[in-house]
Amino acid sequence: MSRGPGLVRPRRLRSSAPVRRLVAETRLHPAELVLPLFVVEGAEQVRPIGSMPGVVQHTRDSLRAAALEAARAGVGGVMLFGVPARKDETGSGACDPEGVLSVAVRDVVAEVGHDLVVMADLCLDEFTDHGHCGVLDAAGRVDNDATLAHYARMAVVLAEAGAAMVGPSGMMDGQVRAVRTALDDAGHHDVAVLAYAAKYASAFYGPFREAVDSSLTGDRATYQQDPANGEEALREVALDVAEGADLVMVKPATAYLDLVRRVSETVSVPVAAYQVSGEYAMIEAAAANGWIDRDRAILESLTCIRRAGAGVILTYWAGEVARWLRAV
């Protein structure tokens, strides 16, 4: 009489580190990590960001050094955010070729060339005195179509500074088309658009507001998505792909992994996810209290974002994790 195959034992494939490594379905690689960096106009000293231990507001010089370090670690790209010395009603610094962000793009390209992908955030919120992502109409509402004209100009300014990729993050309707058209009209066919396609009105952006000295009062609920909605994200993503997005992003990451999965199964362009400031701060804060194992929590969080379907991950730990990955 045959004894049959016996008990099915999935634990066999977990029995040792080499076996687990052999059958791992998901691997992280430095090349798919993108490091967001903040630079402050006129800053003479690096300033720590209290709610993001380990992340700083850079000077021009320290930004160059940080970009070089990221390139050496094998990071895939950097996403630059500029904090201007002066903010105004229309965020005019955003479209100024001598403004903080354009200067930062030129500096970083001069430092690392195109050893990694130099990306720039394309939004007005760091530059407006009211802190919204667009310009306001007479009634004080964010004026979608008037904002698109600013985004179009900003895209060309950033491309001329040398950005290889721009990340429109303001969630205005038609922003990808406006940016793509402006880039093409100016001859910048090769500059790619990483669309913040499904960006939610999230409390997890809290620490970022400190990072960019945000002046926002109120919220962004009339343009960023409602966390209650998933189908809507698929509509947003489809629109951005139709408008010419080269990559689409879901943001934040951890609380929105269902959408990372659904979006990655729906579109054929690469999908990015942004592990945002609050996700970073929560792990750092818990680890600082001795409540979780910091390094394991970081690797687990990134592995799970990758497993959900993100091919590109923006994370404030990109440099550090890239070094870990290279060491193993």
Give me the residues that bind ligand PBG (CB under 6 A), please: 121, 123, 125, 133, 169, 205, 208, 220, 276-277
Our CB check for ligand PBG shows the closer of 115 and 136 to be 136
Least distance from C-beta 280 to ligand PBG, angstroms? 7
Least distance from C-beta 278 to ligand PBG, angstroms? 6
One DSSP character per residue, 183-236 reads: HHHTT-TT-EEEEEEEEB--GGGHHHHHHTT----S--TTTSBPTT-SHHHHHH
Least distance from C-beta 302 to ligand PBG, angstroms? 15
Residues 47 and 4: beta-carbon distance below 8 Å: no
Our CB check for ligand PBG shows the closer of 8 and 228 to be 228
Which residues are catalytic, by number? 199, 251
The CA distance from 210 to 212, in Å, is: 5
The CA distance from 113 to 71, in Å, is: 10
Our CB check for ligand PBG shows the closer of 180 and 220 to be 220
Our CB check for ligand PBG shows the closer of 138 and 228 to be 228
Our CB check for ligand PBG shows the closer of 125 and 143 to be 125
Our CB check for ligand PBG shows the closer of 107 and 125 to be 125
Burial class (CB in 10 A: 0-12, 13-18, 19+), 9: exposed
Least distance from C-beta 55 to ligand PBG, angstroms? 9
Q: Return the structure tokens found at 177.
A: 């088309």
Our CB check for ligand PBG shows the closer of 74 and 170 to be 170
Least distance from C-beta 165 to ligand PBG, angstroms? 14
Q: Which residue has its beta carbon closest to ligand PBG?
A: 208
Q: What secondary structure letter does DSSP report for 139?
A: T
The CA distance from 105 to 128, in Å, is: 20
Q: Return the structure tokens found at 11.
A: 């634990």
Pairing of strands 47-48, 56-58: antiparallel
One DSSP character per residue, 293-314 reads: -HHHHHHHHHHHHHHHT-SEEE
Least distance from C-beta 169 to ligand PBG, angstroms? 4
In three-state secondary structure terms, 136 is strand
Least distance from C-beta 289 to ligand PBG, angstroms? 21
Strand partners for 166: 120, 193
Q: Is the peptide bond before 252 cis (omega within 30 degrees of 0)?
A: yes
In three-state secondary structure terms, 122 is strand
Strands (E), the chain: 33-40, 47-48, 56-58, 77-83, 117-122, 165-168, 192-199, 247-251, 271-274, 312-314
Of 159, 167, 164, nearest to 126 (Cα)? 167
Residues 313 and 250: beta-carbon distance below 8 Å: no
